[in-house]
Amino acid sequence: MTRSEKYDVLGVHVSAVDYAGAVSAVIKAAHHRRPMAVSALAVHGVMTGALDEAHRYRLNEFDLICPDGQPVRWALRWLYGVKLPERVYGPKLMLDVCEAAAKEGLSIFLLGGSNELLDILSANLLKQFPTLQIAGRRASAFRKLDDTEWKEMVAEVRSSGASILFVGLGCPRQEIFTYEVRNEVSIPSLAVGAAFNFHSGLLPQAPPLMQRYGLEWLFRLIQEPRRLWRRYLLLNPAYLTLLGLQKLRFYRIDSAQLKPPQSQVLYG
């Protein structure tokens, strides 16, 4: 499957795409040095768009919004009969793109996390893909950037010669960042969520069985209850409720009238 039609899930246009289709689109754009914005959204990511008009506009301007969470994949089937073989999990998508980039001689840039995390992540990626070219990397400032810092960051990515940019700043900051930086760096930019933490070994991933049955949120909640309890215990029921109302046609968001949000000082 290589199709990438988009379907409305609570006002967010989710792409019906699998791993092969997503990787192929990214690699093709990288070869042509064509700007492309990609994210993989689970329930939390979809709800950030459903509840915020400005962010919904940003997400709907992305070239690919992959169904990261099983409940998002299931929503495509329940609402539209779209039967994807599996979700497109951001951390796996990152590895698949790195593997393809290594084979194609395309270099990557890593942006986000701390310098210590990037040291480990870079080493782990090179261990897994020895021919992968890491053209550059930049740690997060963990604060908003001023205009000068933003321009310096863009210049650093562009001058590195990287063909693909991976962004790991956390949702929704990374999607805002990717929306803003897309045309400035003129290469595919992928917001990959917790992938940096997972692939550096700083956070454990949920067991495969929990991932398969859409229970990854529960695993992460147990790992970080203080930080994540609002995200999952409030947003998950809201997502299911609104999805049911959309199915019954009692809930519909008209995204056609949305206006572009103002550019903002960005967290980087």
Q: What does residue 162 show for φ and ψ, rounded to 5 degrees?
A: -60, 150
pLDDT in tens, 103-118: 999 999 999 989 999 9
State phi, psi for 267 to the nearest 5 degrees. Answer: -80, 125
CATH 3.40.50 fits 6-199, yes or no: yes
The residue extents of the domains of the chain are 6-199
pLDDT value of residue 265: 52
In this prediction, residue 220 carries a pLDDT of 77
Taking 50 as the threshold, does the pLDDT of residue 1 lie above it?
A: no
Q: Which of helix, strand or coil describes residue 158?
A: helix
Q: What is the pLDDT of residues 120-146, one digit of tens each?
A: 999 999 999 999 999 999 998 888 888
Helix (H, G, I), strand (E, B) or coil at 144: strand
Residue 264: pLDDT band by 50, 70, 90 thresholds? low
Whether the full predicted model's pTM is greater than 0.95, yes or no, is no
Q: Are 55 and 49 spatial neighbours (Cβ–Cβ below 8 Å)?
A: yes
Of 74, 78, 108, 90, nearest to 39 by C-alpha is: 90
Residue 69, pLDDT > 90, answer: no
Cα–Cα distance, 66 to 26 (Å, whole number): 12
Are 223 and 217 in contact, with CB atoms under 8 Å apart?
Answer: no
Query: What pLDDT digit, counting tens, does each position of 140-176 carry?
Result: 888 888 888 888 999 999 999 999 999 999 888 999 9
- CA dist 256 and 232 (Å) reads 29
In angstroms, the CA 191 to CA 150 distance is 17
- Between the alpha carbon of residue 252 and those of residues 18, 153, 170, 189, the distances in Å are 26, 39, 28, 30
Nearest to 165 by CA among 150, 197, 187, 133: 187
State residue 207's pLDDT score.
84
**Residue pLDDT, tens place only, 199-209:** 888 877 778 88
Cα distance between residue 37 and residue 15, in whole Å: 12
Please give the Cα distance from 64 to 254 (Å, whole number): 20
Tell me the pLDDT tens digit for each residue of 209-250. Answer: 877 877 777 877 787 788 777 777 888 899 999 999 999 988
